[in-house]
A and B are shown apart, each in its own frame.
Chain A
Amino acid sequence: MSKTQEERVQHALQNLLERIVPTYPDEDEATADDRFEDAYNFASDVIASSKDTTLASDVNHAADLIRRKLVSDYTSPQPAVRFQNLYARLLTQPVLSQKWSMLYFLHQMAE
């Protein structure tokens, strides 16, 4: 990962955690800061330790995982059909290079 890439990761991680780690009413600022720092250190450690793991990158595989999940989670076929349309549109998007990783990430985040 190049220097600028690392800076971009740190910037994006900081912003993401600010929108995930909550602050609780009637708590002091030091406690909130400590919590954020713990969260940031935890996230940085996980990212660093996962750098060497390479995942088979097959965008169709990730799409199949999602399609199967939508078919099993919903009684109606509508969500899977909707996903198929979104997936077709996503494949035509030039600005996103890590399509497989994004789809795989969303599949991992699914409830």
Chain B
Amino acid sequence: MANTSNEREGQREPDKRQAAREVIDILHEIATLLNTKLNRQQLSYCVSLIENGVNPEALAKIIKELRTQYPEPDEEEEGAE
């Protein structure tokens, strides 16, 4: 019996999620090669922002500026010695 469209739709959802996970895997490895210090969670929100039209140069500027302005607590102590 041919699959009904909801069954096909139902099957496609896990495939989409699997494909999205693979994209993050690939991008995270590239991000690590480039020493961007972005973790997977941060990266997935960056993907969402860029996929929804945010300018990549602007997003990079935001993250770099905020990292400079608000260093991580342990980084702050290292700098203070």
**A residues whose Cβ falls under 8 Å from a Cβ of B:** 1, 5, 8-9, 11-13, 15-17, 19-22, 24-25, 35, 39, 42-43, 46-47, 49-51, 53, 55, 66, 69-70, 79, 82-83, 86-87, 89-90, 93-98, 101-111
Contact = CB atoms under 8 A, between A and B. Distances in A.
A99 to B, nearest CB: 9
Given A39-B66, A90-B23, A93-B22, A70 B50 contact: no
B52 A109 contact: no
Interface string B15-46: 01001101100110111011111110110011
Given A12-B49, A93-B23, A103 B35 contact: no
B38 A109 contact: yes
29 contacts: A1-B52, A8-B52, A12-B45, A13-B45, A17-B66, A19-B45, A20-B63, A21-B66, A42-B62, A51-B55, A53-B55, A53-B57, A55-B55, A66-B30, A87-B30, A89-B22, A90-B27, A90-B30, A93-B22, A95-B16, A95-B19, A95-B23, A102-B56, A104-B56, A105-B56, A105-B60, A108-B60, A109-B64, A110-B34
Contact of A109 (B31, B51, B53, B70): B31
Contact of B42 (A5, A16, A82, A97): A16
Contact of A86 (B29, B51, B61): B29
Contacts of A53: 55, 57-58
Nearest to B47: A102
A8 B34 contact: no
B8 interface: no
Interface size class of B (residues with CB under 8 A): 35 or more
Contacts of A105: 46, 50, 56-57, 59-60
A47 B58 contact: yes
Contacts of B67: 20
